[in-house]
């Protein structure tokens, strides 16, 4: 199996956010909100870090 770097980010973020959402909140509605927040944070954080590394190099 091969996967793109961004695909790996999406998969990692999805699986991790599901577990964080379920375990860190008590109410189902809050679980979904926290899971979505974690997912967005993982993906956006990775994109920002990637551009930061590109900017440092150039």
Q: Is 4 left (phi over 0), alpha (psi -120 to 50) or beta?
A: beta
Task: From 11, 13, 30, 31, select the one nearest 21 (Cα to Cα).
Answer: 31
CB of 53 to another protein, least distance (A): 16
From the list 13-21, 40-48, 50-58, the region that binds another protein by CB under 8 A is: 13-21
Does 2 interact with another protein (rule: CB under 8 A)? yes
Single out the residue of 6, 10, 26, 49 in contact with another protein (rule: CB under 8 A). Answer: 26
Does 10 interact with another protein (rule: CB under 8 A)? no
Q: How many residues bind another protein (CB under 8 A)?
A: 17
* CA separation for the pair 27, 7 (Å, rounded): 30
């Amino acid at each position: 199996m091969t996967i793109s770097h961004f695909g790996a980010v999406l998969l990692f973020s999805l699986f991790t956010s599901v577990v964080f959402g379920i375990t860190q909140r008590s109410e189902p509605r809050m679980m979904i909100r926290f899971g979505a927040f974690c997912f967005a944070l993982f993906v956006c954080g990775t994109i920002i870090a990637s551009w930061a590394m590109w900017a440092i190099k150039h």
